[in-house]
Each structure stands twice: as C-alpha cells, then as structure tokens.
Amino acid sequence: MLVIEGGTLIDGNGGTPVQDALIVIQDNRITSVTRKGQGNYPANAQVIKADGKFILPGYWDARVNFVWFVSEPLLVNGITSIIDMAVGGEVQVVHRDAVEHGKIPGPRTFTGIGFISSRPTTVQQFLGTGFETPLMPGRVPKSVEDARQITKNLLAGKPNMIVIQDGNIPLEYYQAIADEARKGNTPVFARPAGPMVDPKAAVLAGINAITHSGDGLGVFVTKDPSKWRGDAVEAWADLDDAKASELAQLFIQRKITLEPNFVEFAAGLSEKWAHWELEDRKMFSDVSLRSYYPDDRIQSVIGIYTRPPLASEVRARMLKGLMNAVQFHQRVAQGGGRVLIGSDSPSNAAVGKGFHHEVEIMAEGGFTPMQIIQSATKWPAEAAQALNRLGTIEVGKLADIVLLTQDPLQDSRNMQKIDSVIFNGKMVERTFHSWHRTPFGGNSPNTNPVVDQLPWAVAVKQATVTGGGGQGAGPNTGRERLAPPGIETISPYIVTEGSPALALTLKGFNFFARTQVFLENIPMPYKRVSGTELQVNIDESYLRRPGRYQIRVYNSPPHTHPEWGNGMSNPAYLIVNYKY
C-alpha cells in the first residue's frame, strides 16, 4: 500500500484544489481520496509526506511518434501516458499491452497502430508492394470499399483510435473510415489540411479530433488563403475573425478535440528559445541516456537550435501567427472545447522536454493554468476513451500521479518542477539507466515492419527471377551460381511465449537446395516446398522469451547478381509476445 499524506490535490476535474489531501493506493488503484485526519491506513504502508507539495494526475503527451528509447525520458518528465500517432504497426500492439501488464517500463501507450494516408511517407512503408501486413502504417486506400476494409483491419487490432494522416484523400473515404470507426466505438484522429478535405468537411464527415491543428488550420482562417501553401504558421498572422469564430464554434458544438503541436513550428520565435536549448542539451548530456538513445536522433533535435536566425520582419510575422494560433485554440477551450498538449517528439522536439515547452507556449498565448492542467490530464484521457480509468485522481482509477514542489496554478511552468512520479501505483526512479531496453526493439522513426526492405525485395525479384521462383529454382545441390533470395511474407508473425515448436512459413523467391535460414544468426532446419516457399522448424526453446527476432534467408556463393548484395535476404521478424 502506498499513501500520499498532505499536499494540495489538483485532481484534474477543474474544481477547487483540496488542501491536506490523503490518497490511499492499493496495488495500482486509488482506493481512497480524503483529507488528513479523515481516513485510515495500515501502519506498515509506505507513506509519502507531501506537505507543501502539489498533487496532479500523471501527464499525457498527446502526440508522440513512439520508439522504445523514449520511455524513460517521458516518465522522468512526469508523462505517464502518451497518444502514439499510429507509427508502430504490430509491434506497437504488443508494446502497449506489455506496458499495461507491467512487463516493460511505461508510459501507457494509446495508439492508432497504423495510420491511413494518401501516400506512403517513407521507404519503410514499402511504396505499396502488396505484401504489407494488415496493421502496417501508411496504408493508402484506393476506393471507398478499400477505405472501409483498411479500417476494419485496423479495428481488428484493437486500436485506441483510427488515424488519418492527411487531407489528400477523397471526402468519401473520410466518411467511410469514420463510419466504420463509429461502428467499432473508436474515435478518429485526422489531419485534414487539404487539398481534398478541409477541417469543416472532415468534422461533418464524423472525425473526433484534429491533429497538428496549430499549423494545419491557419490557411482556413486567414483572409487570403491563396497566399499560403499547406501548413503555414504565417497564415495565422492575417487572421479573418469571422472565419475563425465560425470554425471555433463548429469545433465546440461538435465536441472536436484539437492537438496543435505549437512547439514544432515555434523554432526561434519564443523568448524562451535559448533556455529550451539549454534544457534539451542538459538532458541529452546524461551518459546513461546517451548509452542507448541513438545519437542521430539527439543531433536531429539539437540541430533545430542551430538554424539560422530569422529576418526580423519574418520573425515578427511568424510570432504574430503563432500567438494568433494559440489564442484561437484558447478560445475553443474557453468555449468548452478540448485542446491537448502534444510535442511531436522525438521527431520535432526533445522527448519529455518538448511537452513542457508546449506548456510554456500555451501559457504565453493566454491559456489559464487550469486549462493547461486539464489539457495535460483529463482531456486527453477523454479523447482516448480512457477517462474511466485515467486522467483524474479519483477512487477506482489507476494510480498515475505527479507530485510538484511548486504551485502550477500560480505559474504553469511549475508543472516541470517535479518532486516525484507514481506510475501504476509505484514510485518511478527518475533517473536514466544504461541497461534500459524493450524486448521488441526497433529504431525506425516511423514503423517496425514484420517484413523489412520490401521495395528492395521487389526490385531484386524483378531483376533476378526468370520463372518458377527464381533462376535455377530447382533442387540444386552443386555449386551453381545462385541469385539472391528475398522474403515477401512470414506466417505466423506473432506467437506467445511458451508456444510449442513452430512450423513457420516463409514465402518469397530464389529459395534453393543449399539455401540457409537464420533466426538471429542461428541456422534453422527447414523443408523446401518450392523455390518460393520454405517451411521453417522453430524449436520451442526459441519461443520461451518475449522479443522481436530477426529471420533471414541466405544463399551462399557463387552468386549470379553480386550487385544485389552478398546473398542475404531482406529481414523478416517473428514477434514472441508475453503470455497473459
């Protein structure tokens, strides 16, 4: 049992703070919320003396492009829940569930699993090879029915929301996606910044939340949209009050949640910019954090601070646009709407720190301290349909709590003056650990695919296959020159720890008699069904430990096409999930 005794409770509901609070936590749940002297607890309970401190629900960062190495920086900065913008695919499902079951470090992850888009945005998203798994991010619908089917496939993976990445798919697709999501009682988060779908049309189509609203809405509330292209913060500088009022009222009436990411386009604008750089550099100077956090990702964020300074007139115009954008969102919040705090880290802000910098921008633009607290706690829990268990400090809810040394209602910057963090009913050690890892790994900024490098595999197949699965795809036994192999699909790709021996099916091309199959560099026995299919025998001893295990096919030399590599295929991955 954990007890918080004393301190001022700001429970997230927006009401009057409670002095001298007494909060009792049993296992991972809050079992009592009273005041000192009004409740009892066992003598052997662990007691946190919180006199002079301020007690808040755990924070939410409502826009994180999640990869495993961001977990500790988030928790250290008080962020106990995140909304992941659907960039993890199948791996994100097993990660989310493992955190919820206490198997790996948090924060809790609420995810769309795989986003829907008008185009694949990176090579990792395979440029539409046809071999993508159902939960693969970057799915591009080709018709209304296809949009429905993609949404159904995602819903089968139990996402916390459906994510539409842009506004460049037909409105009918939006309507179909929203319809299927509604049937599945799942909210739709979208970025309808045109050119085919604008915010109003998207709202009327049935979406629930607008992401990147800070820059994405500007062109729709400016006096002359023809002057601006895409997401332009400067468009906000020439605000049309009538357009802004109309759009704000629509959001309020339809209960639309906005997630603006102000910090992403505030580079060089805020007076606090130099101070933020010092904060980011200080965090990333920690040697334990640097032992596992990829250096290129650190340099990418720090590089934001090295951009050339803006010309004074440009800076003034952009700063005016930024403040207009913040004030528009504050108007929505003031009218009863919902605005969330999202950092878009680790891509465009320092993970953990970006959240607190967003807080400072919102305060500078007129959000009240209580609005900011609710933007970080109750409102994101509502948006993710998790308010029944998170977002406020109330009896029956999960014990994710932040204790502060100074009053956040006096100054929102005090939200980063953290004394301690409680996650899932346990105290968080607010330091970085060089051994921090997750069994499911993956360093990609966008996704961790089941079968990687599919565009390469498609190109190799086109260049080398002559029929029957590959050049000389028969059961060769000599030293014939072999073409490089490629993997297209793997089945199954998720099993549970402790599973019996597994017959794994690999489909691809250029599979020969002297082909080898490796699981994490260990050769595996297999049966060659044809030049395009292998049945690989995975002993149960390899399935005892959760993880994401690499599988490759190798054709030993001599090779027919050395320009396509050393005979090693693209990698596929077998996920061994925890048993619950």
The pLDDT tens digits of the residues spanning 466-476 come to: 654 554 444 55
Among the listed ranges 26-35, 233-242, 435-444, which one has the minimum average pLDDT value?
435-444
Q: Position of tokens 């906000």? A: 236
351 shares a domain with 464:
no
3-state secondary structure of 526: strand
- Domain stops at, among 386, 420, 440: 386
Q: DSSP letters of 561-579?
A: -GGG-SSBPPPEEEEEEPP
* The two structure tokens encoding residue 156: 């089968």
pLDDT digits (tens, 9 = 90+) for 312-361: 999 999 999 999 999 999 999 999 999 999 999 998 899 999 999 999 99
- Domain stops at, among 368, 386, 404: 386
296 shares a domain with 158:
yes
Burial class of residue 443, CB neighbours in 10 A (0-12, 13-18, 19+): exposed
* The two structure tokens encoding residue 323: 């403040």
Q: Cα–Cα distance between 18 and 363 in angstroms, integer?
A: 23
Q: Position of tokens 């960062």? A: 61
Q: DSSP letters of 106-164?
A: --EEEE-SS-B-SS--SGGGTTS-S---TT-S-B---SHHHHHHHHHHHHHT--SSEEE
479 shares a domain with 344:
no
Contact status, residue 218 vs residue 267, Cβ threshold 8 Å? no
In a domain, 105, yes or no: yes
Q: Cα–Cα distance between 453 and 568 in angstroms, integer?
A: 12
458 shares a domain with 368:
no
pLDDT over 50 at 124, yes or no: no
Among the listed ranges 21-35, 247-261, 430-444, 462-476, which one has the minimum average pLDDT value?
462-476
Q: Where would I find the H helices in 184-337?
A: 199-205, 213-216, 218-221, 241-253, 273-284, 287-290, 295-302, 312-334
pLDDT band at 442 (very low <50, low <70, confident <90, very high): low
Q: What is the CATH number of the domain that holds 126?
A: 3.20.20.140
154 shares a domain with 238:
yes
Contact status, residue 269 vs residue 236, Cβ threshold 8 Å? no
Q: DSSP letters of 418-430?
A: EEEEEETTEE---
pLDDT band at 307 (very low <50, low <70, confident <90, very high): confident
461 shares a domain with 312:
no
Contact status, residue 199 vs residue 210, Cβ threshold 8 Å? yes
**Mean pLDDT, residues 140-146 taken together:** 96
273 shares a domain with 174:
yes
Q: Cα–Cα distance between 380 and 386 in angstroms, integer?
A: 8
Alpha carbons within 13 A on the beta-carbon side of 408: 37
In a domain, 404, yes or no: no
- The widest CA-to-CA distance across the chain, in whole angstroms, is 85
Contact status, residue 139 vs residue 116, Cβ threshold 8 Å? yes
Number of domains in the chain: 2
**Contact partners, residue 575, CB within 8 Å, separation at least 6:** 90, 91, 94, 440, 450, 493, 494, 495, 547, 548, 549
280 shares a domain with 182:
yes
pLDDT band at 129 (very low <50, low <70, confident <90, very high): confident
| Domain residue limits at 226 | 58-386
Q: DSSP letters of 83-120?
A: EE-S--THHHHHHHHHHHTTSS---EEEE-SS-B-SS-
In a domain, 25, yes or no: no
458 shares a domain with 380:
no
In a domain, 30, yes or no: no
Q: DSSP letters of 270-281?
A: STTHHHHHHHHH
Q: Cα–Cα distance between 218 and 239 in angstroms, integer?
A: 8
278 shares a domain with 154:
yes
302 shares a domain with 166:
yes
Rounded to the nearest integer, the mean pLDDT of the chain is: 93
Q: Cα–Cα distance between 447 and 159 in angstroms, integer?
A: 15
Q: Which of 46, 51, 44 is nearest to 21 (CA)?
A: 51
- Domain stops at, among 366, 386, 406: 386
473 shares a domain with 377:
no
In a domain, 79, yes or no: yes
pLDDT digits (tens, 9 = 90+) for 351-389: 999 999 999 999 999 999 999 999 999 999 999 999 999
Q: What is the CATH number of the domain that holds 497?
A: 2.60.40.10
